[in-house]
Amino acid sequence: MKNLFACMMFCVIALPSGVSHAAPPSEPPDAIVCRGLSAVGFSYWWGGECWCSNGCAPDLVGCAPGVCTPNDGSTGCPECTHTGTYGADCSGFVSRAWQVPDPLATNACNTARYVASSFTADHEYWNVVPMNDLRPADAVASDSHVILVIGSEDAFGEHDCVEAKGCSYGIVRNSRTFSSVYSGARRINLTTCECDEGGTESENCGDCGTRTRSCTGCMWTGWSACDGPDPEGEEANCTVGEDALGVCAQGRQLCVAGWLTCSPNSPGTEVCDGQDNDCDGLVDNGTAVTLGEGYACINRCGDGVSACLDGAVRCVTPGTIWPDDTCNADDPGDPVDTTAGDGCSCTVGGGRDPGGLPMLLPLLFTFVLIRRRRARR
């Protein structure tokens, strides 16, 4: 009954017999997209088809959007009440965005329009098109709903759309998909050549990106993905903050999808470099293999073993005042001689009995462990 009432009402409004209508204006698809975007934020009004625009933006100040309220016990219109002057239902919105059956200003109310099911079949003002060939400014319709497509298909197959969705929503912009009961429609009189072949244009997007489109076959392609160059130099460094630890607390500024973001360093293998590479809060606490420890080596004092000390792999030999100091090849000072102050008495090239090394190893590991714990503190 509700639908019968709807059909009678809209048939009378949309198709008065004997009244001729002007063909829709010759215009590029962008003009329809612009008109559609200018309705976002206005209320859903069952039977309505008007709103106020300021270029491609809605004029929500000069013309206050109405309010749609479902009646008690109803989940939607037409059992609903609308207050206010402006608003549209789905087919009123698409009719006005498409300028059918008459080219009128967006704020012209109580005028002829079509119902949703009209857009599912060929018409003198539009043609049905395949759903896998939707373009901006096309409509997608079922027997009960019609939607204006304003963007090209995204990576997952959804489209950026504007629709008068229902009493609870109003006119909204959203990314959405369509079930297979929907069919596509394309208005006639779209300007066949809206740009100079080979031309390009770009615009800023996000906070570090740009996007471009080019003119192919006399029509603009869809906008490219928003992207931009990553910052360089000092601007590239950033601090992640929160509770990030070690190298993960630092990051690099990237321009991702046109937006600046601090991309934290990833946790890595703990190596001997004085940093917390695996982001567990401890410095140089890897395994002997990852730290490069335990290998036999020769330093100025003779035979030694590699150990991670103070953020560097050193060849150490216990000295006379061991374990408080060691003889190692990296000591500052005289590059040639080592002294008792270095923890051992030896000279470069001086050797020790290599047979003593195996006996020294357990002591060396204990020594290294103590040193590393001290280093963490």
Partner 1 sequence: MNTRNTRNTLLAAWPLLLLLLAGAGFPRTSHAAAADDLPEPFLFLAWDADVGRFLGDEADSEGPKSFAAKADGGLLILDQVNLRILDFDAAGRELPAYALPGPAFDDVGEAAGRFVLALDRLVTSTLLVYDLDGSIVTELDLVGHGIEHAGLITAMFARTDGVWLEVSHRHSVRVLDAAMGPCERRIVLGRPIEGGRSLIGKLDRPAGGATISIGPRNAAKPDATITIPGELPIRRIVQLDADAKGRVLAVVHEALFAGTTPFGVLDERYRLIRLDDRLAELWTVRSPWVLTELDQRQEVRLGPDGGVWQMFFTWEGVFVVRLDGGTP
Closer Cβ to partner 1, 65 or 304, answer by number: 65
Closer Cβ to partner 1, 56 or 262, answer by number: 262
Instruction: Report the nearest approach of partner 1 to the CB of residue 182 (Å).
Output: 8
Q: Is 121 in the site for partner 1 (CB under 8 A)?
A: yes
Instruction: Report the nearest approach of partner 1 to the CB of residue 284 (Å).
Output: 22
- Three-state secondary structure call for residue 67: strand
312-331 footprint of partner 1 as x/- string (CB under 8 A): --------------------
Size of the site for partner 1 (CB under 8 A): 76
Segment contacting partner 1 by CB under 8 A, of 5-13, 28-36, 287-295, 315-323: 5-13
Q: Is 144 in the site for partner 1 (CB under 8 A)?
A: yes
**Helix locations, the chain, DSSP H:** 2-14, 29-37, 90-98, 288-291, 357-376
Instruction: Report the nearest approach of partner 1 to the CB of residue 247 (Å).
Output: 13
Query: Which residues inside 46-105 make contact with partner 1, applying CB under 8 A?
Result: 46-47, 75-78, 89-92
Name which of 46, 45, 38 is nearest 10 in CA terms. 46
Instruction: Report the nearest approach of partner 1 to the CB of residue 78 (Å).
Output: 7
Interface pick for partner 1 out of 6, 33, 308, 364 (rule CB under 8 A): 6
DSSP 132: G
Query: Which residues inside 206-245 make contact with partner 1, applying CB under 8 A?
Result: 206-207, 225-226, 241-242
- Three-state secondary structure call for residue 32: helix
Closer Cβ to partner 1, 101 or 319, answer by number: 101
Instruction: Report the nearest approach of partner 1 to the CB of residue 115 (Å).
Output: 7
Interface pick for partner 1 out of 120, 277, 299, 338 (rule CB under 8 A): 120
Segment contacting partner 1 by CB under 8 A, of 128-136, 305-313, 330-338, 351-359: 128-136
Residue 78: cis peptide before it, omega within 30 degrees of 0: yes
Query: Which residues inside 247-286 make contact with partner 1, applying CB under 8 A?
Result: 254, 256-257, 259, 261-264, 266-267
Helices (H) and strands (E) in the chain, counts: 5, 22
Instruction: Report the nearest approach of partner 1 to the CB of residue 128 (Å).
Output: 5
Query: Which residues inside 181-200 make contact with partner 1, applying CB under 8 A?
Result: 181-184
CB atoms near residue 201 (< 10 Å): 12
Closer Cβ to partner 1, 68 or 368, answer by number: 68
Instruction: Report the nearest approach of partner 1 to the CB of residue 177 (Å).
Output: 6
DSSP 195: S
Task: List Cβ<8 Å contacts ≥24 apart for 262-269.
Answer: 262/238, 264/240
Name which of 161, 158, 148, 155 is nearest 225 in CA terms. 155
Closer Cβ to partner 1, 127 or 320, answer by number: 127
**Which residues, other chains included, contact 346 with Cβ-Cβ below 8 Å and sequence gap of 6+?**
300, 301, 302, 327, 338, 352
Residue linked to tokens 């300028």: 99
Burial 87-126 (b: 16+ CB within 10 A, else e): bbbbbbbbbbbbbbbbbbebeebebbbbbbbbbbeebebb
Instruction: Report the nearest approach of partner 1 to the CB of residue 195 (Å).
Output: 22
Type of residue found at 336:
V
CB atoms near residue 223 (< 10 Å): 16
Helix H or strand E encompassing 216: strand 209-216
Q: What is the DSSP string of 98-128?
A: HT-SS---TT--S-----GGGGGS-BTTEEE
9-38 footprint of partner 1 as x/- string (CB under 8 A): -x----------------------------
Closer Cβ to partner 1, 260 or 288, answer by number: 260
Q: Is 155 in the site for partner 1 (CB under 8 A)?
A: yes
